[in-house]
Amino acid sequence: MSGKKQTGATLIELLLSMGLISIVLLLAVSIQLASQKQWTNQTISVENQANVRLVMNMITKEIRSASHVSVSANVLTLMDENKNITGEYRLSGNTMMNGSAEIAENIGEFLIRMEGSKLEISVASLPGKEGHSAALSTVLYLRGGDGG
């Protein structure tokens, strides 16, 4: 019986191969989870930037076509030449509103300051999961008679 060769894997070889496979799988899962978390954070960041840009673009476009602009209690009111309200921008909770229409969500700050014909506007998003927020600000100089 000593002439027969035994083939197959020993228990130790089997355990070592299972251990190596487990380590490789854990590494792959770890990379997948880290990538997924990064993708989620970047998606939130891009959405916040898009919301802030949308708000700022809408407001500045409407200001340029408005005949009268007034600011009170962080509400920006835009009027035509007949003093009819064409836009009324305000922050309600974390939602940017124009009248009763929702424009964008996850807005954390909307600041307006008007001194004479100089109008300063600042819009910022809520912080994302990593604590970063998107913010834009601009200064507009209104044409004669626009400020109210």
Low-confidence residues of the chain: pLDDT under 50: none
Give the Cα separation of 140 and 69 in Å (integer): 11
Whether residue 74 lies inside any domain: the answer is: yes
- pTM to 2 decimal places: 0.75
The whole-number pLDDT of residue 76 equals 96
Whether residue 61 lies inside any domain: the answer is: yes
Structural domain for 73, as ranges: 49-141
Total count of domains within the chain: 1
The whole-number pLDDT of residue 145 equals 53
* Residues 6 or more apart whose Cβ sits within 8 Å of residue 2: none
Structure tokens at 57: 């673009």
The whole-number pLDDT of residue 12 equals 92
Whether residue 17 lies inside any domain: the answer is: no
Whether residue 111 lies inside any domain: the answer is: yes
The whole-number pLDDT of residue 103 equals 95
CA 67 vs CA 37, 57, 58, 81, 97: distances in Å: 47, 18, 16, 5, 21
Whether residue 41 lies inside any domain: the answer is: no
The whole-number pLDDT of residue 62 equals 93
Whether residue 68 lies inside any domain: the answer is: yes
